[in-house]
């Protein structure tokens, strides 16, 4: 039995092996994308047999799940720390870009092309909702939710009945619209920048991103 807070040598070894496997997996993803991830190839790199590696991750999907969970947790913590320090909506946007630029492969694993045949477990959706909750909080006017406007925008009206993405967050219609537009437009710029589509166009993507932030906030 393990004493709380103390790992046995076997547990430490297992944690180290799992961490090394994930590190090798990120290297593979950087070279060939998530669809090319292979536990057997990782085993060969590490000098162990395929069956030995499956004692640490039962399947490729389990390894992908762990990587996606780590990526979402990292971003949720980054956004949460920025929000706790008083960052406004623009500050959260800058935190998002800094996180994405630091490790583009991590960004693309969770916001890029879905891995064929892979379905993420519910707990990952829960972590992702922490990010949106922080944006919804920041999208609300400083004075709190405003009284309902005489006329909602068409998008606000639509979102009133299609708000699964916002969960149970008590955001106003304007805050929901603002947060959703903020999220989608910034991801559009980030995805193009990280994929290299601005290369050779002769402008600084950081300036475009800041322009979007100013327009959205």
Predicted pLDDT at 120: 79
Q: What is the DSSP string of 152-185?
A: --HHHHHHHS--GGGTT----HHHHHHHHHHHHH
Q: What is the DSSP string of 24-78?
A: HHHHHHHHH-GGG--HHHHHHHHTS-HHHHTTT-SSHHHHHHHHHHHHHHHHHHH
Give the pLDDT means over successive 10-residue stretches in the chain (217 positions).
66 90 93 87 90 89 93 96 96 97 94 82 90 96 56 88 91 93 96 95 96 93
Predicted pLDDT at 5: 59
pTM: 0.86
Rg over alpha carbons for the chain, rounded to the nearest Å, is 21
Q: Which two tokens stand for residue 173?
A: 């219609």
Using one digit for the tens of pLDDT, what is the confidence trace for 61-72? 899 999 999 999
Dmax (CA) of the chain:
68
């Amino acid at each position: 039995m393990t004493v709380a807070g103390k790992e046995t040598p076997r547990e430490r070894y297992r944690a180290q092996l799992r961490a090394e496997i994930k590190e090798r997996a990120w290297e593979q993803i950087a070279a060939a994308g998530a669809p090319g991830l292979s536990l057997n190839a990782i085993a060969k790199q590490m000098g162990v047999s395929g069956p030995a590696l499956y004692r640490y991750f039962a399947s490729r999907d389990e390894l992908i799940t762990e990587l996606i969970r780590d990526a979402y947790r990292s971003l949720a913590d980054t956004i949460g720390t920025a929000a706790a320090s008083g960052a406004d909506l623009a500050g959260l946007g800058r935190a998002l870009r800094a996180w994405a630029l630091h490790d583009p492969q991590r960004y693309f694993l969770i916001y890029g092309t879905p891995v064929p045949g892979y379905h993420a477990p519910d707990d990952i959706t829960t972590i992702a909702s922490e990010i949106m909750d922080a944006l919804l909080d920041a999208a609300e006017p400083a004075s709190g939710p405003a009284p309902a406007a005489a006329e909602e925008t068409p998008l606000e009206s639509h979102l009133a009945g299609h708000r699964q993405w916002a969960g149970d967050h008590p955001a106003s219609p304007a805050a929901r619209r603002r947060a959703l537009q903020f999220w989608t437009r910034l991801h559009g710029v980030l995805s193009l920048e990280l994929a290299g589509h601005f290369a050779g166009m002769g402008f600084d993507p950081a300036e475009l991103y800041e322009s979007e932030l100013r327009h959205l906030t």
